[in-house]
Amino acid sequence: MANFATTGLVGPALTQVDATARTRVGTVVNLDDGGEAIYVQALSEISQYAYSVAFEDGTAQMATTTNDLTCRRAGWAQASIPSGYYGWLQISGKVIGNLAANCDDNLPLYTTATAGVLDDAIVTGHLVLGTVSKRTISNATAVTLLAARGQMVGNGATATI
């Protein structure tokens, strides 16, 4: 399911990854599913479907409980992005994301110590606000998630943007 930009920007597809920038990092576009994506440069390799943090300078890396509260935005890479390369993180809409084993549907999701993976196991202060899985899984895998505009990591009372 490769979404495409519906904003006036003519640029790379969400699954396209390049060694040189095709547009300005930090650019946000609207998608055909009503979601949004942000263009980033990977600080280190970002795996396909990994939940990743996007920093103020347009760089990104896979999210963990160590770095998730230091970002302004976060989203899911729909293609692997090698270190130093450029690509898109889908920040809202109907996205595919990595979940941990035995993750139930319709429950809040949290970042984990495993880079790029979300889980329904409560990790205080690391709630991914506005994101839910619509499917229960038994093995760790990538599934379709619904991510609201403005989804972010927070503690339930306040959020870090």
The pTM assigned to this predicted structure is 0.88
Each residue's pLDDT tens digit, 80-107: 999 999 999 999 999 999 999 999 888 8
What pLDDT score does 137 carry? Answer: 84
Phi, psi for residue 36 in degrees, rounded to 5: -140, 160
**Could you give the CA distance from residue 42 to residue 161 in angstroms, rounded to a whole number?**
19
- Residue 128 CA to residue 88 CA, distance in Å, equals 19
| Rounded CA separation 25/18 (Å) | 12
pLDDT in tens, 98-144: 999 999 888 899 999 999 999 999 998 899 989 999 888 888 889 99
Counts for the chain of helices (H) and strands (E), in that order:
0, 10
Q: 33-48 pLDDT, tens per residue?
A: 889 999 999 999 999 9
Listed range (132-136, 148-152, 156-160) with the worst mean pLDDT? 156-160
